[in-house]
Chain A
Amino acid sequence: MAKIIVVTSGKGGVGKTTTSASFATGLAMRGHKTAVIDFDVGLRNLDLIMGVERRVVFDFVNVINGEATLKQALIKDKHLDKLHILAASQTRDKDALTTEGVEKVLNDLAQDFDFIVCDSPAGIERGAFLAMYFADEALVVTNPEVSSVRDSDRVLGILSSKARLAEKGETKVKEHLVLTRYNPARVAKGEMLSLEDVKEILAIPLLGVVPESSSVLTCSNSGVPVIREEGSDAGLAYQDLVARFLGDEVPHRFITEQKKGLFSKLFGAT
């Protein structure tokens, strides 16, 4: 039986899709059969970040409507045969996702996969709600910034009261904090909320800190999840995060300011 993980945040543009792509890729790199689903109906993007945009024939809504089989719609990653992508529909019909439809697709996927990663759209409307409703675990992606932290808290409230597990009242959704776009130098200057501040406010266990990194943009330019980028700080942070998720004990990196060496001072490298 597969484990369903939602990548959520409330606020848009904080790094959910970046995280979903790297997290799913990382799980597959570690040998787990993983499907990643784009729930952002109308604003498909995960396909671009995963570099499969030209191979999308059928999408999530086609499967729900019975216009295609799951097998037809799942896109197999070119590099990792354990990784599959289900693209979002570009329809503008807000009601395209139904609770029953989503449940059926997740149940079918659960037969074959170890992990199902749901990339949530922003907001708390239907798409975002359905992405989290069936989740066993949640990666709450947060930036060290006031509106993002407040929105994450809002989403945590919804997860703990409205998700299926919460409704059943047996267990609750397991929550993980993923702090992204972190800039330790600005934290040191008192310009940015620190990891400790965010942990204290949200009060959920930390899974990983992903630094603000120029390689996230360049990787997205070429459709490569940043976790595949050798030597990228953000990529390494995502590898650590996946390892921790799978139970390894990995110390946190990139949370303190890297003092510039003489070389970078002289030559202005960053």
Chain B
Amino acid sequence: MDWLKFFRAEKNNTAKTAKDRLMLAVAYQRSGQANGPSYLPRLREELLGVVRKYIQVPDEAVQFSVQREGGLEVLELNITLPDQ
């Protein structure tokens, strides 16, 4: 038995890696960004630029989700400000 391998068992569990990656990919898909209008990424970039004129925020500070509610498409926009 390869003991080194045994102790690295956690690392070799690629199924676990697959699951973690899938959870993120699927969350993105379900947020509606993946199948939302094609201008969304640009809108997001520009908004981020505007916010940054006033306050320094990380890239993930601007979050979108597109949802369908009773036949309407609702674009939800969240800007998280750092607490200072």
Contacts and interface: CB of A to CB of B under 8 A. Distances in A.
A154 interface: yes
Contacts of B12: 190
Nearest to B14: A191
Interface in B7-38: 9, 12-16, 18-19, 21-23, 25-26, 29-30, 34-35
A187 interface: yes
A150 interface: yes
Contacts of B34: 154
Contacts of B9: 190
A263 B19 CA distance: 36
A201 B25 CA distance: 10
B29 A201 contact: no
A153 B13 CA distance: 23
A153 B24 CA distance: 12
Interface residues of B, number: 20
B53 interface: no
B42 interface: no
B74 to A, nearest CB: 13
Interface-central residue, B12, B15, B23, B71, by most chain A CB under 10 Å = B15
Nearest to A194: B15
A200 B15 CA distance: 14
A67 interface: no
B22 to A, nearest CB: 5
Given A146-B21, A157-B35, A191 B15 contact: yes
Nearest to B70: A169
Nearest to B71: A169
Contacts of A197: 15, 18-19, 22
A27 B25 CA distance: 36
Interface of A: 145-146, 149-150, 153-154, 157, 161, 169, 187, 190-194, 197, 200-201
Which 10 residue pairs across A and B have the least CB separation, nearest first? A190-B13, A197-B19, A153-B26, A190-B15, A146-B18, A150-B25, A193-B15, A193-B18, A201-B22, A149-B22
15 contacts: A145-B18, A146-B21, A146-B25, A153-B26, A153-B29, A153-B30, A154-B29, A157-B29, A190-B12, A192-B15, A193-B19, A197-B15, A197-B18, A197-B19, A201-B26
